[in-house]
Amino acid sequence: MKTKSHIVRLIVFTILASIFGILEFQGYELYTMLEGQTVSSMAMIVFAILAGYNLGALTIQATIKAKRGAEGEVAMLVGLLRVVAGIGIGVALLYFFGELQRVGAAVGAFSGLLLGWSLQAPVSGMAAWVMISLKRPFRVGDRIQLPSLGLVGDVMDIGPMYTELNQVGGAVGSEEAVGRPILIPNAMLFSQVVINYTAQQDAAFILDEVVIRITYDTDWVEAEQILLVAAREVTREIIEQTGQEPYVRADMYDYGIYMRLRFMTKATDRPRISYEIIKRIFQDFQRNARVDFAIPYIYSFRKGVQASARHDEADQQRVTENVALSQIVIGDAEQTTLLGNIQEIEELAGRIREDGLIQPVVLAQMPDGKYKVIAGHLRVEACKRLGWRSLPAIVRGKE
């Protein structure tokens, strides 16, 4: 619709400009104005400007459409052309009415101040562009960070006025490019700290870290080996290029150990590499019974006492049953502990001989049908020394 209107106006204004041009050159002066200027010459120039505006608008539409640009780009450029055409018509009218010199003098009085104020940012931007082009603190393709602006992005273009970035993060919670372009005025770069992640594009490696929380009873050596093997497998090529092996550092915290796996990674591929390492560590932890992840918990003394009381009450309400001592299994660690308490076991056996077993032991039934001692290791050993074949116990269920 806009294309048709531009074509119609172009034809109309071209015809009108031609008519007034013919009248002017044939000497048909409709009206003589100041300084010998005529209405026909003024009309010819005004209609020529309007025709030029419509021709320019059609040219812009065709060019943007050929480049598959957005409709908004056409509106922006046509709007700029409209302003230029309006200024051209205004200058022509002032000239024909003899006011151009007077208005020009008034504008010239403030032009220096206005020009200096309006060109301050553009001049600074162009100066920054020249500096960036010569010093090259970053280049197209680099990943940079502007800490004061909270921005990380990949440099897509460096122009005289703006540096265009492809934003990293923002829409997602990791350092991956999201395809959202950001224009940074070059003038701002004079006062901003810029961190270049990829100062050496052919070898853009940085130190990264994956933190794993392990429990206090985890086999430290086994856990550390799992972390190092995972990092070496995923970053094998990076290790070959940098010569830097992954390593582990650790901190203690309330619920376990922080194991910090540190390794060299590609600056622009951190999320994927970190994902692969964490995935391998998780799978290896699941397959290995000697390592476990620590899970934070909240402990309340009052709630703990209440839970203990409910637990003791439930144990008392349970029916005891006689369990054969031959079916009770004592682990190696418990056996070692018992060997260090021989005197205490002898004294306990004497009291059981006189008074009987006042408090039953607590057992848990294992999948193979045998029983594991939960509470009462010394009592079980004392009853064995007395020659008992069975003893009363509370069985909590299968493990």
pLDDT tens for 165-180 read 998 887 776 777 888 8
Nearest Cα to 224, choosing from 288, 295, 297? Answer: 288
Nearest CA to 324 among 368, 378, 265, 389?
Answer: 389
> For a pLDDT cut of 90, what percent of the chain falls above it?
18
Asked if pLDDT for residue 260 goes beyond 90, the answer is: yes
Give the pLDDT confidence score for residue 40 in this predicted structure.
Answer: 77
Instruction: Check residue 357 and give its pLDDT.
Output: 85
**Which of 32-41, 118-127, 224-233, 372-381 is modeled with the greatest confidence?**
224-233
Q: Quick one: average pLDDT of 37-42?
A: 75
Higher pLDDT, 161 or 73: 161
pLDDT of residue 206: 86
- Written as six digits, the tokens of 320 are 């005891």
Rounded distance between C-alpha atoms, residue 370 and residue 398, angstroms: 10
On the question of pLDDT at 398 being above 60, the answer is: no
What is the predicted pLDDT for the residue at 229?
Answer: 95
Q: CA angle, 307 as apex, 301 and 311 as ends, to 5°?
A: 140
Q: What is the pLDDT of residue 107?
A: 65
Around Cβ 17, how many Cβ atoms within 10 Å? 20
Q: Picking from 153-162, 191-200, 215-224, which range would have the lowest pLDDT averaged per residue? A: 191-200
* Residue labelled with tokens 């204004």: 13
- Cβ density class 66-102: b for 16+ within 10 Å, e for less: eeeeeeeebeebbeebeeebeebbeebeebbeeeeee
Sorting pLDDT into bands at 50, 70 and 90, what band is 211? very high
CB atoms within 10 A of CB 9: 17
> Which range has the worst mean pLDDT, 52-56, 221-225, 330-334, 370-374?
330-334
360 vs 194, 385, 397, CA distance in Å?
Answer: 72, 17, 16
Residue 392 token pair: 């009363």
Q: Calculate Rg over the CA atoms of the chain.
A: 43
Alpha-carbon dihedral 274, 280, 283, 285, rounded to 10 degrees: -90
148, 217, 230, 284, 326 from 222: Cα distances, Å: 42, 12, 12, 10, 35
Looking only at Cα atoms, what is the longest distance across the chain?
Answer: 145
Q: What is the pLDDT of residue 275?
A: 93
pLDDT of residue 282: 94
3-state secondary structure (DSSP) of residue 214: strand
Residue 77's pLDDT is what? Answer: 85
Contact, 231 vs 280, CB < 8 A? no
